[in-house]
Amino acid sequence: MFVGQPLLRPEDQRLIRGRGNFVDDIEFPGMLYIGFVRSPHAHARILSIDTVGAQATPGVVRVLTAADWAAAGLGRLVCVHPMDFTDGRAMNEALRPAFAAHRVCHVGDVVAAVVADSRFHALDGAEAVHVEYEALPAIGDTGRALDPDAPLVHPQFGTNLVTEVIKGDKTAVEAAFAHAAHVTSLTVTSNRLIPSPLEPHSFVARYDSALDETVLWATNQMPHMLRQWICQYALFLPENKLRVIAPDVGGSFGGKGSFLPEISTVVWMARELGRAIKWTATRSEEFLTQTHARDHVTRGRMAFDTQGRILGLEVDTTAALGAYLSNFAPSIPGNSYPQTITGLYRTPALWIRVRAVYTNTVPVGPYRGSGRPEAALVNERLLENGAREMGIDVVEIRRRNLLTREQFPYRSPVGRTFDCADPPRMLDILIDMASYSELRAQQKEAKRQGRLMGIGLAGFFEKSGSGPSGNLARSGAHHGGYETALVRVHGDGKVSLFVGTHNHGQGHEITYAAIAADRLGIDVADITVVEGDTATVPFGNGTWGSRSISVGGAAIFRASTAIAEKMAAIAAHRLGCDRADLRLEAGAYTAASTNQTMTFREVATAANRGFGLPPGLEPSLECTISHEPPDSNDPLAIHLAVVAIDTSTGVLSIEKYFTVDDCGVVINPMIVAGQVQGGFAQGIGQALMEHVVYDPASAQLLAGTFMDYAVPRASDMPPLESAFIETPAPSNPLGVKGGSETGTIGPPAAIVNAVVDALWDGGIRNIELPLTPEVVWRALSQMKANAPCV
């Protein structure tokens, strides 16, 4: 069995030698380069664009503006998951323009593009484009976007509201709060982030006039969908005339699923000019155009009975979507976020309102967790504050509220049914691993010595696996939830797997190979995995929402099983035995009764030559399965953070961190542990340092490089101890659940809870993210101001 083994990854052989093939590595003779001219204003009217200087710049081949896009009759970028108002009104849709025409709506909005014979000349040309603007009032503050006097991002709507999604039962919640023994209220802000994969976006396109085919090499996690968007909405090309290849991609985390405004222009110009062309973003451009994430402001209330049992939850969220709708944006706060808002707890009554708003900021899009970190933060902050206000230990209040194993499948008040879990067992493992009572004793001792120590927890579901296409369609999506795998056994017995997902660090190659190898009875080394090429891989919906293994892996499982059955039929026929008499061991089929054998390779050769097969059986060993998942799946985790605070500087130190995960059956424990660790680093980032800061008055971007947007470094990472339990998911034949987002979801909630725990006796009830030394120092100062004079 290869499933369950920590097998090493074949792709590492090229990546550690510097022989990866990333998009920016691709060069062609005579290649052109594009530089984009971007708005320096958050909101302004474009009065004029003077391209004369750019046209005259050495090396410049073409200068483009919105006028050229319109003259070419090109279309629009698309939002593939719109969310209408719950009352039936259509959402207020303003799509990202490839080129802003009359108005710019965020710093970084594309105004013009310059095509030239070198990167340097493209930049020179871009600098020579002179744009005259008339600045307009801008809104950069999410919490103010719906104020009556807020500047309007798109005046035609008369509001900054994109959509309003309401779920739950208002009457039931009002009754719950009316009868509550205790009510906790909080305002919770989820700080704006940027996914920041280390590889910046890069696109190379090349047109072959003989075939009338364009090839686009793209930093992307869903190449088939990208092809659809470009062909059907933006450039009106036949889909069979564009081939999208996503080769090695240097991280994505949801960010490289965005339909950036620059992509279509690269493809358009490759066709128009008949030359290979490239655009690679600088890191600053990433901040100006790559979709950002999170940015919620939430007012939440939780009602408890006298025993600390949750009676009701009321959530009112304003979620910024930026200046335009990116392709997936509305579904993140509108669909993903409400689904997990009640977390791991029995919550009899819920009312949630999400108002998605425009602000003069870069569009928001998916980023690891997508809605679930925001949900966990609200639910877990309210629960722990409630516990402390009621004098109940934070572990004890969870014991009283956690869903138990027997209650699954559990239909939550938001309407979602969660498949299987055992949260109380996970909590037991966690507090045992963390030596919780010992930690509390240490905390008391620390307090006696005048030191500040805090302990906080967070438990949550991570909805994953995309679910069936019908469910997606009902929630408004313009894309499917299925995944396609093609298993091909070659005449020499070697195997190729083609899967419509995309690997950009998750180790799909060895994971998929292990699944197929177990079904086919061969070595993983005999299997090659191909992803990320629309010309060779059947249509697939790509990698997002932790869906690759539970959906793509299930497709491989089914296709490999079908191939194995066909091969067994051939072997039985050739060996003259019954199928029941046949054993497959060590790459050979043996007829138990006669002890005659036929190797896997010999069966493959027979099938390939189409000779000596059972009557009626078709030759060749290829199977394509488009697997429609009957349901999504529900990984979950509980985290515990231990923090210490330096009372003079506000520097926060995470002393220890513990996680217990249930991501179902683990195919490769090395890779899954790596996903938890890597996800955790991004969670630490949101908790401690990452923040896309906009000036509240001007909506000017203040964090635009890695010098002012801090991401965690090696010395920022605390000791991490992780445990796993396996509750097999019922909705796929592998029993797997998503395994790559929990690490990111928990830390903001667990760490804020721990900090509030440390500062509780000083009167602190809430604190903003990220927990920079300044933020913590301000809280400490407030504590000193609160303290009675001695």
Partner 1 sequence: MRVSLTINGAAFSADVEPRMSLAQFVRSEVRLTGTHIGCDTSQCGACTLHVNGVALKSCTLLAVQADGAQVTTIEGLAKDEKLHPMQEAFRHHHALQCGFCTAGMIMSALDMLRREPLLDEVVVRHNLEGNICRCTGYYNIVEAILSGAAEMRKTSDTTADEC
What DSSP string describes 747-764?
HHHHHHHHHHHHHGGGT-
Place of tokens 């655009």: 279
Picking from 296, 297, 266, the residue whose alpha carbon sits closest to that of residue 280 is 266
Nearer to partner 1, 196 or 335 (CB): 196
**CB neighbourhood size of 765 (10 A):** 14
CA 189, CA 194: separation in Å to the nearest integer? 16
CB of 262 to partner 1, least distance (A): 17
Nearer to partner 1, 9 or 106 (CB): 9
Using the rule CB under 8 A, is 525 a contact of partner 1?
no
What's the min distance (Å) between Cβ of 100 and partner 1?
Answer: 25
Q: Is 283 in the site for partner 1 (CB under 8 A)?
A: yes
Q: Is 532 in the site for partner 1 (CB under 8 A)?
A: no
Length reported for the chain:
790
Return the residue of 1, 18, 29, 585 that touches partner 1, per CB under 8 A: 18
Binds partner 1 (CB under 8 A): choice among 446, 584, 693, 717: 717
Structure tokens at 294: 């999170």
Interface with partner 1 in residues 466-505 (CB under 8 A): 504-505
**Closest to partner 1 by CB, 285 or 419:** 285
DSSP state of 376: H
Stretch that binds partner 1, among 203-211, 277-285, 317-325, 378-386 (CB under 8 A): 277-285
Residue 369 lies near partner 1 (rule: CB under 8 A): no
Q: Which of 446, 670, 702, 767 binds partner 1 (CB under 8 A)?
A: 670
Pairing of strands 44-50, 161-168: unpaired
- Local structure of residue 701 (DSSP, 8 states): B
Choice between 197 and 454, CB closer to partner 1 = 197
Q: Least Å distance between CB 104 and partner 1? A: 24
Decide whether 367 or 418 has the Cβ nearer to partner 1. Answer: 367
Number of residues near partner 1 (by CB under 8 A): 55
Distance of CA 388 to the CA centre of its chain: 33
Q: Give min distance, CB of 512 to partner 1, in A.
A: 16
What is residue 14's three-state secondary structure?
Answer: helix
Nearer residue to partner 1 within complex by CB, 199 or 622:
199
Does position 257 bind partner 1 by CB under 8 A?
no
Should residue 30 be labelled a site residue for partner 1 when binding is judged by CB under 8 A?
Answer: no
Closest CA to 322 of 313, 311, 312, 333: 333
Residues 533, 509: Cα–Cα separation, whole Å: 15
Q: How do beta strands 720-725 and 652-662 pair?
A: parallel
User: Of these, 36, 410, 498, 680, which contacts partner 1 (CB under 8 A)?
Assistant: 680
Quick note: the x/- pattern for partner 1 over 168-197, rule CB under 8 A, is ----------------------------xx
Measured from the Cβ of residue 594, the count of other Cβ atoms closer than 10 Å reads: 11
User: Does residue number 24 form part of the binding site for partner 1 (CB under 8 A)?
Assistant: yes
Whether the bond into 137 is cis, omega within 30 of 0:
no
8/72 with CB nearer partner 1 = 8
Whether 211 and 222 have beta carbons less than 8 Å apart is answered as no
In the list 240, 282, 404, 781, the residue contacting partner 1 (rule: CB under 8 A) is 282
Return the number of the residue (49 or 193) whose C-beta is nearest partner 1: 193
What angle do helix axes 372-390 and 394-401 make, rounded to 10 degrees? 110
Residue whose CB is less far from partner 1, 306 or 715: 715
Of 35-43, 60-68, 658-666, 699-707, the segment contacting partner 1 by CB under 8 A is 699-707
Residues 358, 94 contacting (CB under 8 angstroms): yes
List the one residue out of 120, 122, 135, 118 whose CA is nearest residue 44. 135
Calpha distance 352→334 (Å, rounded): 10
Which secondary-structure segment (H or E) carries 404?
none
Among 248, 314, 483, 757, binds partner 1 (CB under 8 A): 248
C-alpha separations of 480 from 236, 281, 465, 471, 542 in Å: 21, 30, 12, 9, 10
Smallest gap from Cβ 663 to partner 1, in A, equals 16
- Pick from 465, 545, 674, 770: which binds partner 1 (CB under 8 A)? 674
User: What are 455's two structure tokens?
Assistant: 């302990």
113, 37 in Cβ contact below 8 A? Answer: yes
Q: Is 735 a binder of partner 1 (CB under 8 A)? A: no
Least spacing, CB of residue 283 vs partner 1, in Å: 4
The residue from 19, 45, 76, 444 that contacts partner 1 (CB under 8 A) is 19
What sign does the CA torsion over 713, 714, 720, 723 have? Answer: positive
Q: Percentages helix, strand, coil for the chain, rounded to the nearest 5?
A: 35, 25, 40
Nearer to partner 1 among residue 178 and residue 525 (C-beta)? 525
Q: Is 102 in the site for partner 1 (CB under 8 A)?
A: no
Residues 6+ apart with CB under 8 A from 248: 11, 14, 15, 20, 21, 22, 504
The residue among 34 and 591 lying less far from partner 1, judged by its C-beta, is 34
Which of 713, 784, 789, 790 lies at the binding interface for partner 1 (CB under 8 A)?
Answer: 713
Interface with partner 1 (CB under 8 A), residue from 125, 151, 247, 250: 250
Site string for partner 1, 504-523 (x = CB under 8 A): xxxx----------------
Indicate the residue among 242 and 672 with the shorter CB distance to partner 1: 672
Which region among 324-332, 418-426, 438-446, 670-678 touches partner 1 (by CB under 8 A)?
670-678
Nearer to partner 1, 160 or 196 (CB): 196
Query: By C-beta, is 27 or 87 nearer to partner 1?
Result: 27
**Site membership for partner 1, residue 671 (CB under 8 A):** yes
Q: Output the smallest distance, CB 402 to partner 1, in A.
A: 27
Q: Are 11 and 513 within 8 A, CB to CB?
A: no
List all residues 6 or more positions away from 588 whose beta carbon is below 8 Å from its beta carbon: 597, 598, 599, 600
Q: How far apart are CA 17 and CA 497, in angstroms?
A: 25
Is residue 27 close enough to count as binding partner 1 by CB under 8 A? yes
How far is residue 471's CA from residue 630's CA, in Å, rounded to a whole number? Answer: 10
Task: Pick between residue 7 and residue 621 the one whose CB is nearest to partner 1.
Answer: 7
Q: Is 715 in the site for partner 1 (CB under 8 A)?
A: yes
Q: Confirm or reject binding of residue 11 to partner 1 (CB under 8 A).
A: yes
Phi, psi (degrees; rounded to nearest 5) at 525: -70, -15
Q: Is 677 in the site for partner 1 (CB under 8 A)?
A: yes
Residues 197-216 that bind partner 1 (CB under 8 A): 197-200
- Does 251 participate in binding partner 1 (rule CB under 8 A)? yes
140 is an interface residue for partner 1 by CB under 8 A: no
Phi, psi at 671, each rounded to 5°: -70, -40
Contacts of 616 (CB under 8 A, 6+ apart): none
Choices 17-25, 145-153, 209-217, 635-643 (CB under 8 A): range interacting with partner 1: 17-25
Strand residues in 414-534 grouped as ranges (E): 417-418, 452-461, 483-489, 495-499, 527-530
139: three-class secondary structure by DSSP: coil
Residue 706 touching partner 1 (CB under 8 A): yes
| List of residues contacting partner 1 (CB under 8 A) | 8-9, 11-13, 15-20, 22, 24-25, 27, 119-120, 196-200, 248-253, 282-284, 504-507, 670-671, 674, 677-682, 705-707, 711-715, 717, 720, 743
